[in-house]
């Protein structure tokens, strides 16, 4: 069994001080996909000395940053999303690592951080450009054993956010954003592993605003994903979302989302 966790830490230094270290000791996933790391590789190595690391750091200081931190060796690493105009705002958002499995097979694991976007601004243009570039990369990865993890900053369906009626004109639930994810699942054949395991129900959510009583009332969004081609998605056996019991126990505004895959004998 292989546990893969995706987690937006909102700055690993702050998250580590507030309680991430305790969570990691208890959870101990085999592969950890991080977003919004906001720290150099040297500091990440200090926090995760027992893990093999692949990281993409943003060219804009204090922004973005993604990483794959694996207890298993890394056979290869590829940084950046092909097909994008090389803007600083696109950096620190995509890292691929080929995990060397014990039986000799390789599993490509991606940590991705899609732009948050903002309607009527260039930030939204960058977000859509990134999502479309993801489509082309997923097309290329379809025949490969891959799991793409991350904060996609898009709720795909009404069941994926509590207040969907009030967010239909906001970035994160726009028709053009959701259509890209539909293309991944309906046309390319990729599987939303979290939804497949959770079934047809509201949530389960992975992000709650710091403001108001969103956390206490579970007024959240499901924007943290693990997606995979059918050959890998069919090996997913269970999932969990480590939502803290209390607001004051939070160390990020996201919750770690872990999927357990049954990979012995896996072949892409």
Q: Which two tokens stand for residue 108?
A: 């490509």
**Annotated catalytic residue within 3, 30, 151, 224:** 151
Cis preceding-peptide flag for 169 (omega within 30 of 0): no
What is the four-CA torsion angle of 204, 38, 3, 219, rounded to 10 degrees?
-10
Q: Where are the beta strands (DSSP E) in the chain?
A: 2-8, 31-35, 52-56, 66-70, 74-79, 94-100, 106-113, 146-151, 191-192, 224-228, 236-241, 257-261
Residues in CB range of 246: below 8 A, 6 or more apart: none
* Residue tagged 């710091």 (tokens): 210
Residues in CB range of 33: below 8 A, 6 or more apart: 4, 5, 6, 7, 66, 67, 68, 69, 109, 110, 111, 149, 150
Task: Give yes or no: 216 in active site.
Answer: no
φ/ψ (deg, to 5) at 174: -80, 145
Contact 262, 1 (CB under 8 A): yes
For the beta carbon of residue 72, count every other beta carbon within 10 angstroms.
17
Contact 116, 238 (CB under 8 A): no
Per-state percent for the chain, helix, strand, coil, to nearest 5: 30, 25, 45
Q: Where are the beta strands (DSSP E) in 10-145?
A: 31-35, 52-56, 66-70, 74-79, 94-100, 106-113
Catalytic residues: 151
């Amino acid at each position: 069994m292989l546990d893969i966790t995706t987690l937006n830490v909102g700055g690993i230094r702050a998250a580590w001080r507030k309680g991430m270290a305790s969570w990691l000791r208890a959870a101990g996933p085999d592969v950890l996909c991080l977003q919004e790391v906001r720290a150099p590789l040297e500091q990440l190595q200090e926090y995760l000395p027992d893990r093999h690391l692949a990281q993409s750091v943003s060219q804009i200081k204090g922004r973005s940053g993604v990483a794959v931190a694996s207890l298993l060796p890394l056979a290869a690493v590829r940084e950046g999303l092909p097909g994008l105009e090389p803007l600083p705002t696109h950096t620190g958002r995509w890292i691929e690592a080929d995990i060397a499995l014990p039986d000799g097979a390789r599993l490509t694991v991606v940590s991705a951080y899609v732009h948050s976007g903002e309607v009527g601004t260039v930030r939204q243009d960058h977000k859509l450009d990134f999502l479309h570039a993801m489509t082309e990369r997923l097309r290329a990865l379809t025949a490969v054993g891959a799991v793409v993890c991350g904060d996609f900053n898009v709720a795909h369906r009404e069941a994926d956010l509590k207040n969907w009626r009030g967010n239909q004109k906001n970035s994160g639930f726009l028709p053009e954003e959701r259509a890209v994810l539909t293309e991944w699942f309906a046309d390319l054949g990729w599987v939303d592993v979290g939804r497949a395991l959770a079934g047809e129900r509201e949530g389960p959510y992975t992000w709650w605003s710091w403001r108001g009583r969103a956390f206490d009332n579970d007024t959240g969004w499901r924007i943290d994903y693990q997606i995979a081609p059918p050959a890998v998605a069919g090996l997913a056996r269970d999932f969990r979302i480590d939502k803290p019991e209390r607001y004051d126990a939070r160390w990020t505004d996201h919750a770690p989302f872990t999927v357990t895959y049954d990979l012995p004998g896996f072949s892409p």
